Structure 1
């Protein structure tokens, strides 16, 4: 049987199409949708994981002093402005004394009068003692004269009566002296009270502090306990932080922390957990804790962390016992289930796992689903699916190692 001889045109088309089809198949199998996906592998390791807690809080002053009068009055002057640094004992302001200075002057006069009264009472006691001693001597003399019958009984009796009167006069003088001394104590106490009230009109800084609020101006009327100037101790700042109750059971005092202020998000400051508040928020399901700055540079920075500024706090808890762990990047969620991709007969297979604690280095504990030494896919250039061809490489360009 003789086959028809192919024409030159057919030969030419075959010569062109066969290489094109081969090139297309090569591209499809090497770099197209049928090409193997480059992947990197990692190994499940036995290692301790240090869980962390993350919370957001606000900067607050540990010691705040609201300085004001102890009774209602008018502000006479305020010597400081917001942002001023003050020293302990420095005058911050003063209240109008009204008639208090005159009352102190009157108390001074009353005190001097009471002191003179005490001096006069002492003199009266001395006079009464002299009269009593003289009367006693006269009684003894006339008793002797009565025995020698050179004085009458009436005369001796008169001398005894004079001695009794002198004794009563001495008792009266002593009583007057005690009364004068008590009156002096009362007047002195009243004067001290007025002087203390006058001193309380001077608003004094209790410690080296920073003025954060000026709540009243000269001429304003304030009531007892109302703040005129508010200052804080700038060397004692802390952060009031809220932590999610989930996983916060291991939180305790003295743990280290890292503080990132909202104004300086790229810098962190060292801190420590000072205390955990005894009450938690049942609505937000959060714990509250106080995080203190471990160190603040000397001299203190300008400006200080601003009160009320938001801060992000990370607390490293106690390390856990070594357990199977792998990098967090190997975990994926597929159909609502958390798991990893493992190689099964050359193809990827999704395996569900149960995870535990995580740390800041990106490691997560595996409680169930994997064992130490298992190799799983860490990174892939594109999302995987079961049965997809993969190619194991050392590193995928553009992705982290």
Structure 2
């Protein structure tokens, strides 16, 4: 009865006491860049040169790399020649239009003169009809000249647009930095063939680093933007860095049952690199006074959450309604216990209402 399977189960007890805890959330995260850019061509081609190395600091607009233009220069020269030819065609169409306009005016004057003469019976009706036909022909020729002039103008506009497109395509082959940044990766070397949209260089804004933190969904109550944070980087274990929650992701990880939050540095320290592991503690507003129990005392019995209470010599399970928890292992009890109640904190074995108990100060000591 004192040893073996029928021996009393050794347990440690504590009394429920009122108090006020400072709730906090804890999570592990990695340092990421808020603004990260992939620099690459808009068309497939061969890399001609790369002018920067990994770790270089670049300025907005700086020339980083260049793609091989292949036949763009020859195509530009061909378009320039076509534009010159179109200009000559336009000049010829304009001269033809002026000639046709003069011919129509002459034909119109002759037609008016012959109309007056025919009204006085000085010329025959056939002569008048010939002059009117000359006027109609001159007007038709003027219309054709105006149409040729309009076609020449449109052709010149088309060639100018093609030249502008070639110049823009030629300019796009020179890859420039879109912002002040640091080169973190060089993904293509001169001579490599890349497709449209493929990254040649990867850049990050060094002043946009923050920590992506993963928090247990079950313990994430109170997570909100603006919460103060303490950040401990694995690369700087002795430094306690300040920060705040800049964003709470709207999508959680259903597999790991975690929520994601982005924590910004206040201010950004030097020597932080992307990919650094970080331990982040988020401070929640202080809770009101309530009864506190150790987190180790809370157990699950038949789907209910509660503690084992020792009432005199009787052991019974009490279901609880819990509130917030602190990182030092204290949990609020909203309903189910009173101040002074004795509860089991640790036990050697799983308990039930018929278990025989032996109260000890610590389970780590030798058995009597």
TM-score by length of 1: 0.71
Which ranges of structure 2 fall in alignment gaps of 5 or more residues? 1-14, 301-305, 343-357, 362-368
The equivalent residue for 2:332 is 365
Structure 1 residues 374-393: aligned runs within 5 Å: none
2:165 equivalent to 1:193: yes
The equivalent residue for 2:250 is 278
**4+ runs of 1 displaced by more than 6 Å?**
334-341, 350-355
The equivalent residue for 2:129 is 157
What's the CA shift for 1:257? 2.0
What's the CA shift for 1:246? 1.1
Contact 1:241 1:289 in 2 (8 A): yes
Secondary structure of 2:239's aligned partner: coil
Secondary structure of 1:75's aligned partner: strand
Contact 1:255 1:315 in 2 (8 A): yes
In terms of fraction of residues, the more strand-rich structure is 2
Contact 1:332 1:339 in 2 (8 A): no
- What is the aligned counterpart of 1:143 among 115, 128, 137? 115
Distance 1:108 1:320 in 2: 77
Structure 1 residues 294-373: aligned runs within 5 Å: 294-296=266-268, 301=270, 303=271, 305-325=272-292, 356-359=323-326, 364-367=331-334, 369-371=337-339
Contact 1:332 1:340 in 2 (8 A): no
What's the CA shift for 1:78? 0.6
- What is the aligned counterpart of 2:202 among 230, 237, 246? 230
What's the CA shift for 1:243? 0.6
- What is the aligned counterpart of 1:85 among 31, 38, 57? 57
What's the CA shift for 1:152? 2.7
Secondary structure of 1:219's aligned partner: coil
User: Structure 1 residues 272 and 114 mapped into 2: Cα distance closer, same or farther (>3 Å)?
Assistant: farther
TM-score by length of 2: 0.77
- What is the aligned counterpart of 2:77 among 90, 98, 105? 105
Secondary structure of 1:136's aligned partner: helix
Contact 2:18 2:289 in 1 (8 A): no
The equivalent residue for 1:125 is 97
Distance 2:79 2:163 in 1: 5
Which ranges of structure 1 fall in alignment gaps of 5 or more residues? 1-41, 345-349, 377-384, 389-401
Distance 2:235 2:145 in 1: 79
- What is the aligned counterpart of 1:245 among 217, 223, 246? 217
User: Structure 1 residues 213 and 166 mapped into 2: Cα distance closer, same or farther (>3 Å)?
Assistant: same
What's the CA shift for 1:170? 0.8
Contact 2:61 2:179 in 1 (8 A): yes
What's the CA shift for 1:158? 1.4
What's the CA shift for 1:133? 1.6
Secondary structure of 1:80's aligned partner: coil
2:46 equivalent to 1:74: yes
How many residue pairs are counted as aligned between the two chains? 322
The equivalent residue for 2:230 is 258
Secondary structure of 2:255's aligned partner: coil
What's the CA shift for 1:276? 2.6
Q: Which moved more, 1:116-125 or 1:309-318?
A: 116-125
Distance 1:216 1:238 in 2: 28
Q: Which has the larger radius of gyration?
A: 1
Distance 1:295 1:184 in 2: 58
What's the CA shift for 1:54? 0.7
The equivalent residue for 2:146 is 174
Distance 2:328 2:292 in 1: 12
Distance 2:268 2:316 in 1: 49
Distance 2:316 2:268 in 1: 49
Distance 1:294 1:188 in 2: 53
What's the CA shift for 1:289? 2.2
What's the CA shift for 1:213? 0.5
